Homo-oligomer: A and B are copies of this chain.
Amino acid sequence: MNSIVILGAGNVATHLYSVLQNSENTSVIQWYNRKLDRIQSVQNECLITDDLKALVEADIYIIAVSDDAIADVSKNIPYQNKLVVHTSGSVSLHDLDKKHQRGVFYPLQTFSKDATIDFSEVPICLEVDNKTNLPLLKTIAQSIGSPYYRVNSDQRAALHLAAVFVNNFTNQLYRIGHEITESKSVDFDILKPLIKETAKKVETLSPFMAQTGPAKRNDKKTIKKHLKSLDKDIHKDIYELLTKSIKQTHGKKL
Contacts and interface: CB of A to CB of B under 8 A. Distances in A.
A140 to B, nearest CB: 18
B192 A165 contact: no
Interface stretch (A40-48, A94-102, A149-157): A149-157
Q: How many copies of this chain sit in the oligomeric assembly?
A: 2
A18 interface: no
A222 B89 CA distance: 10
A223 to B, nearest CB: 9
Contact of A241 (B222, B225, B237): B237
A201 B245 contact: no
B172 A245 contact: yes
B241 A194 contact: no
Interface residues of A, number: 85
Interface string A202-222: 110111101111111001001
Contacts of A196: 121, 199-200, 203
A138 interface: no
* Residue of A149, A154, A162, A249 ringed by the most chain B CB atoms within 10 A: A162
* Residue of A122, A154, A192, A195 ringed by the most chain B CB atoms within 10 A: A195
A194 B201 CA distance: 14
Interface of A: 67, 90, 108-110, 112, 121-123, 125, 149, 151, 154-155, 157-159, 161-178, 180-181, 183-188, 190-203, 205-208, 210-216, 219, 222, 225-226, 229-230, 234, 237-239, 241-242, 244-246, 248-249
